[in-house]
Amino acid sequence: MSTPVSVGHRGGATVAPTLPARRPPAPGGGSPLLELIGVSKTYGVEEAAVHALAGSDLVVTTGEYVAIMGQSGSGKSTLMHILGCLDTPSSGTYLLDGQDVSGMDEAALAWVRNHSIGFVFQQFHLLPRLPAWRNVELPLLYAGRRSRRRRQERAEAALAAVGMGDRLSHRPNQLSGGQQQRVAIARALVTDPAIVLADEPTGNLASDQATEVLAIFEAMHAQGRTVVVITHDPDVAHRAQRLVRIRDGRVLSDEALAR
């Protein structure tokens, strides 16, 4: 299997396979893909300083499915923002596919976010005026894909892959919560990222909708993607292979889960 993530700015056009092209990881586990070494994140200064992360160590290997749990305010979203190159550590080292993220310029970070990582959020973050397929094509636009027809084809394929092929032209307010989250997942998958990071993806969903979303996460993992899911729900967490608990900005426990 070729290297699933090659970080950095390749420049020019990129070639990404179409869904669902990824192969499962080789037996015996992958290599370190996301590696936090003593990562701290402090917001504010002096007496207003909040130590959202306080020396976190975490290694996620290629092809893993990891759940992260912890109380509100424990630093989970901060951790995800750093893993996803949406934010940078105040101190410590973040190695993404072996490359120190602190040495990457904004263009390289944007490249990684646009090509290697898919994000799913609790609040869906769909643009309300746009039909589903136009929401899903946005990452391809941001990634500089010029062919409108090809963008539309890939958006439609991504929507079909999450069971939304019959709602291509619906706007978000014409969709249920579970359907909106599936559109958001299609948007996360349309660039065929190697890594999917989700922050409370089922937090706003009824249990039957959550079950559908979790089935999609399992399929993403089965396709060889590395999946990290933040959740408050033990049932959601126990669908993963591994459970990391954080407290006060540090990893409290890290256990393999029986499946």
Any contact of residue 173 with ligand ATP (CB under 6 A)? no
E strands, the chain, in order: 32-43, 50-61, 65-69, 91-96, 99-100, 117-121, 195-199, 226-230, 242-247, 250-256
Which residue minimizes CB distance to Mg ion?
Answer: 77
- Tell me which stretch binds ligand ATP (CB under 6 A): 12-20, 74-82, 90-98, 237-245: 74-82
Sole binder of ligand ATP in the list 7, 36, 76, 143 (CB under 6 A): 76
Residue 128 sits at φ, ψ, to 5 deg, of -65, -30
Secondary structure of residue 192 in the 3-state scheme? coil
For ligand ATP, which residue of 8, 25, 63, 75 counts as binding (CB under 6 A)?
A: 75
132: left (phi over 0), alpha (psi -120 to 50) or beta: alpha
Q: Is 140 in the site for ligand ATP (CB under 6 A)?
A: no
Instruction: Tell me which stretch binds Mg ion (CB under 5 A): 69-77, 95-103, 155-163, 203-211.
Output: 69-77
**Binding to ligand ATP by residue 70, rule CB under 6 A?**
yes
Residue choice 5, 7, 33, 52 for contact with ligand ATP (CB under 6 A): 52
Please tell me whether residue 44 binds ligand ATP under the rule CB under 6 A: yes
Residue 77 sits in the site that holds Mg ion (CB under 5 A): yes
Q: What's the CA gap between 151 and 153, in Å, rounded?
A: 5
Applying CB under 5 A, which residues contact Mg ion? 76-77
